Structure 1
Amino acid sequence: MDTEEFQLPRSRQANERLHAMIPGGGHTYAKGDDQYPENLAPVISHGHGAHVWDIDGNRYIEYGSGLRSVSLGHAHPRVIEAVRRELDRGSNFVRPSIVEVEAAERFLATVPTAEMVKFAKNGSDVTTAAVRLARAVTGRPRVAICGDHPFFSVDDWFIGTTPMSAGIPAATTELTVAFPYGDLAATEELLTRYQDEVACLILEPAGHIEPPPGYLAGLRELADRHGCVLIFDEMITGLRWSEAGAQGLYGVVPDLSTFGKALGNGFAVSALAGRRELMERGGLRHPGDRVFLLSTTHGAETHSLAAAMAVQTTYVEEGITARLHALGERLAAGVRDVAASMGVGDHVVVRGRASNLVFATLDESRQPSQQYRTLFLRQLLAGGVLAPSFVVSSALSDADIDRTVEVVAQACAVYRKALDAADPTPWLGGRPVKPVFRRLA
């Protein structure tokens, strides 16, 4: 479909209704309509497998489903059946449910590097709990975050370090320091500079690049030597890298780790896991000061825990991680081929592990460009591909991948025209998409 003909009138109206009642027009900034070309932010009606339909009646092949959470595809039968079995049995009680026992056993069998686990509803809750626990057990105030990773929590200790720091006291932000990924010498210098002040090192163990040889083991040694807690944020790497996350793949055991996203296949569940000695400080069987670790009304809601168990079983029994890698490799190869053939191979760039692909849109000077991203997204949408990233789900078929590559080829042809004109403006259809983290709306 020609992009000039591609219109979303019902979605446009729904977006206006969303903004009238909900700050930001949605419940996640990364899903905002400012992340999409002007007036082309679809409002979703429903999804099944790797496809979603908007309220204008358009069907899309979807990538990055639910901010990487729906890795098995929408309404996956094994997950839905597990949830359905619990629906008539109640969801939340005045005492723990037996489902909590089963879910914990299932998780610790899947992630054997952990000794205890506590469930919650979102990633920020568990990363913040990990930070609080690290501060409690070390008696130290500072948090060292990997500055190369984009997001850890909505809470003050992290958001204060971003351009959206309004409302966060400077005294809080000053307690968070940053270290670069892959650079052990710089991290050691940081720990030496703040000797006996850093409670923890928190990072995604892997991202768009593989960890350099010996890096994670080196971090483990640094944390031990400087007496701080090593925390792996496995929100993205959990299940997508291996059933046991990046720690299971690379063989380096953190003190604490946090999981979410793929764990529930769209159902709200996250997990804080780690060494018993640390985790028990949030429990009742230790002599020290109690840590208010996690205490959430809905953290052990049975439907989501049933979903998590079904997800883990499906991953193990059906080899989902391997399938995600195979699909991602097919997609990456296809996109790189058509980008090169259209003369934009240095401008439309696929990056990341095969199970977690993103793309960069670069301008004439090969610098990241929100304008060219707008052009690219607009062409993809018109072709029936909803792709803020190229993160695959296991529900994608080879035909879906092939169709995506065809649409990318058409988008790359337009991209080449814009590069030749040295001006993408005629192909934007309005204002460019915007970065999530920015000071002004």
Structure 2
Amino acid sequence: MKDEEFSLPRSRAANERLHAMIPGGAHTYAKGDDQYPEHLAPVISHGQGAHVWDVDGNRYIEYGSGLRSVSLGHAHPRVTEAVRREIDRGSNFVRPSIVEADAAERFLATVPTAEMVKFAKNGSDATTAAVRLARAVTGRQRVAICGDHPFFSVDDWFIGTTPMSAGIPESTNALTVSFPYGDLAATDDLLTRYRDEVACLILEPASHTEPPPGYLAGLRELADRHGCVLVFDEMITGFRWSEAGAQGLYGVTPDLSTFGKALGNGFAVSALAGRRALMERGGLRHSDERVFLLSTTHGAETHSLAAAMAVQTVYVEEGITARLHALGERLAAGVRDAAASMGVGDHVVVRGRASNLVFGTLDANGQPSQEYRTLFLRRLLAGGVLAPSFVVSSALDDADIDRTVDVVAEACAVYRKALDADDPAPWLAGRPVKPVFRRLV
């Protein structure tokens, strides 16, 4: 379908309904219609495998499914069957279900670097619990976050560091400091400057770049030397890097780690895991002051834990992590070739680990451009590719990848025209997409 013919009237009307009742029109800012070209933000009807359908009846090859949470594809049969079985047995009780023990055993077998685990429903609760526990066990108040990583929590200790800090006391913001990824000397300087004040270092162990040799082991040594807790946020790296996360792949064990996203294949489940000596402070079998670690009514919802167990089984038995890498490598190579063939290889760039690819859209000066991103997204959508990123799911097949590369080539041809004109505006048909974190609407 040609771009000028592509429109989403039913999705546009549905977005108006959403905005009338839900602040931002979505329950996650990253799903907001401001992240898509104007009037081209599809509202989803349903999904199956690597494809989704919008309310206008269009089918898309989908990437970044569920903000990286649906790594096996939508409605994966082994996961949905496990959920169905458990739903018929009840989902929440006044005492722990035996499913909680089964799920904990399965998780700790999958992530053997952890000694205890506690489940919750979202990543923010898990990371905030890690921060609270680190403050309790160290008696310190400051939190050191990796400033190169985009998101850790919806809670004040992190959101206060973003442009959307309205409503958060400055006294809270002052307790969070940042360190640069990959720079051990700068981190050592930070910990020395705030000697005996930093409760924890929290970071994604890997992101769009691989950790420099010795970096994670160096952080482990720094944390031990300065007496702070090392926390790995494995929301994204968990399962996509290896079944045991980045800590399993790189062989560095944090004190605490947090998992989510891929853990439930779209079902709401997250996990805080770590050393028994720390985790037990949130339990009943110690003589220290108690820590209110995690206490959530729905944290041990049985069908979500059943989904998590099924996901781990599928990953191990079907070699899912290796498949994600193979699919990502095929996609990255195809996109790079398509961009190069259209003369925009220096402007449409693919970055990241093969299982977690993102793309950059650069202007004529090589600078990131929201305008060129808008142009690119418009052409992808018109070609039936829904791709805020190029993060793959294992439900994709070679035909999906090949079709995606063909659509990317078509988009890159238009991209080249915009670069030659030194003006992408004629191809935007509306306002450009916007960054999630910004001070004003």
Short-chain TM bin: over 0.9
Shift of 1:33: 0.1
Corresponding position of 2:240? 240
Shift of 1:135: 0.1
- Deviation digits for residues 56-106 of structure 1, max 9, x if unmatched? 000000000000000000000000010011111000000000000000000
Q: Quick check: 1:400 aligned with 2:384?
A: no
Amino acid at match of 1:340: A
- Deviation digits for residues 104-138 of structure 1, max 9, x if unmatched? 00000000000000000000000000000000000
Corresponding position of 1:439? 439
Shift of 1:323: 0.1
Give the Cα–Cα distance (whole angstroms) in 2 for the partners of residues 207 and 118 of structure 1. 25
- Map of 1:361-400 to 2, 5 A cutoff? 361-400=361-400
- Map of 1:101-250 to 2, 5 A cutoff? 101-250=101-250
Give the Cα–Cα distance (whole angstroms) in 1 for the partners of residues 79 and 323 of structure 2. 18
- Map of 1:250-269 to 2, 5 A cutoff? 250-269=250-269
Amino acid at match of 2:244: A
Aligned partner of residue 4 in structure 1, secondary structure: helix
Give the Cα–Cα distance (whole angstroms) in 2 for the partners of residues 415 and 275 of structure 1. 50
Amino acid at match of 2:100: E
Give the Cα–Cα distance (whole angstroms) in 1 for the partners of residues 179 and 165 of structure 2. 19
Q: Quick check: 1:30 aligned with 2:30?
A: yes
Corresponding position of 1:81? 81
Corresponding position of 1:409? 409
Shift of 1:40: 0.1
**TM-score w.r.t. length of structure 1:** 1.00
Corresponding position of 1:55? 55
Give the Cα–Cα distance (whole angstroms) in 2 for the partners of residues 244 and 317 of structure 1. 14
Give the Cα–Cα distance (whole angstroms) in 2 for the partners of residues 240 and 189 of structure 1. 32
Give the Cα–Cα distance (whole angstroms) in 1 for the partners of residues 183 and 58 of structure 2. 46
Aligned partner of residue 71 in structure 2, secondary structure: coil
Give the Cα–Cα distance (whole angstroms) in 1 for the partners of residues 118 and 25 of structure 2. 32
Amino acid at match of 2:251: G
Corresponding position of 2:8? 8
Runs of at least 4 residues of structure 1 off by over 4 A?
A: none
Give the Cα–Cα distance (whole angstroms) in 2 for the partners of residues 107 and 436 of structure 1. 32
Give the Cα–Cα distance (whole angstroms) in 1 for the partners of residues 134 and 98 of structure 2. 29
Give the Cα–Cα distance (whole angstroms) in 2 for the partners of residues 316 and 310 of structure 1. 10
Give the Cα–Cα distance (whole angstroms) in 2 for the partners of residues 415 and 88 of structure 1. 52
Amino acid at match of 1:351: R
Give the Cα–Cα distance (whole angstroms) in 1 for the partners of residues 417 and 292 of structure 2. 58
Give the Cα–Cα distance (whole angstroms) in 2 for the partners of residues 51 and 8 of structure 1. 17
Give the Cα–Cα distance (whole angstroms) in 2 for the partners of residues 367 and 262 of structure 1. 32
Corresponding position of 1:46? 46
- Deviation digits for residues 361-385 of structure 1, max 9, x if unmatched? 0001000000000000000000000
Aligned partner of residue 395 in structure 1, secondary structure: coil
Corresponding position of 2:328? 328
Amino acid at match of 1:156: D
Give the Cα–Cα distance (whole angstroms) in 2 for the partners of residues 16 and 341 of structure 1. 40
User: Which blocks of at least 5 consecutive residues in structure 1 are unaligned?
Assistant: none
Give the Cα–Cα distance (whole angstroms) in 1 for the partners of residues 101 and 139 of structure 2. 31
Give the Cα–Cα distance (whole angstroms) in 2 for the partners of residues 54 and 297 of structure 1. 33
Aligned partner of residue 105 in structure 1, secondary structure: helix
Give the Cα–Cα distance (whole angstroms) in 1 for the partners of residues 296 and 429 of structure 2. 45
Give the Cα–Cα distance (whole angstroms) in 2 for the partners of residues 303 and 213 of structure 1. 40
Aligned partner of residue 328 in structure 2, secondary structure: helix
- Deviation digits for residues 133-165 of structure 1, max 9, x if unmatched? 000000000000000000000000000000000
Aligned partner of residue 101 in structure 2, secondary structure: helix
Number of positions where the alignment pairs a residue of Structure 1 with one of Structure 2:
441
Shift of 1:174: 0.4
- Deviation digits for residues 149-201 of structure 1, max 9, x if unmatched? 00000000000000000000000000000000000000000000000000000
Give the Cα–Cα distance (whole angstroms) in 2 for the partners of residues 399 and 4 of structure 1. 26
Amino acid at match of 2:277: E
Shift of 1:261: 0.1
Give the Cα–Cα distance (whole angstroms) in 2 for the partners of residues 113 and 139 of structure 1. 25
**TM-score w.r.t. length of structure 2:** 1.00
Aligned-residue Cα RMSD (Å) equals 0.2
Aligned partner of residue 230 in structure 1, secondary structure: strand
Aligned partner of residue 366 in structure 1, secondary structure: coil
Amino acid at match of 1:188: D
Aligned partner of residue 239 in structure 1, secondary structure: helix
User: Which blocks of at least 5 consecutive residues in structure 2 are unaligned?
Assistant: none
Corresponding position of 1:72? 72
Corresponding position of 2:17? 17
Aligned partner of residue 388 in structure 1, secondary structure: coil
Shift of 1:8: 0.2
Amino acid at match of 1:359: F
Amino acid at match of 1:297: T
Aligned partner of residue 238 in structure 2, secondary structure: coil
Shift of 1:392: 0.0
Give the Cα–Cα distance (whole angstroms) in 2 for the partners of residues 335 and 100 of structure 1. 43
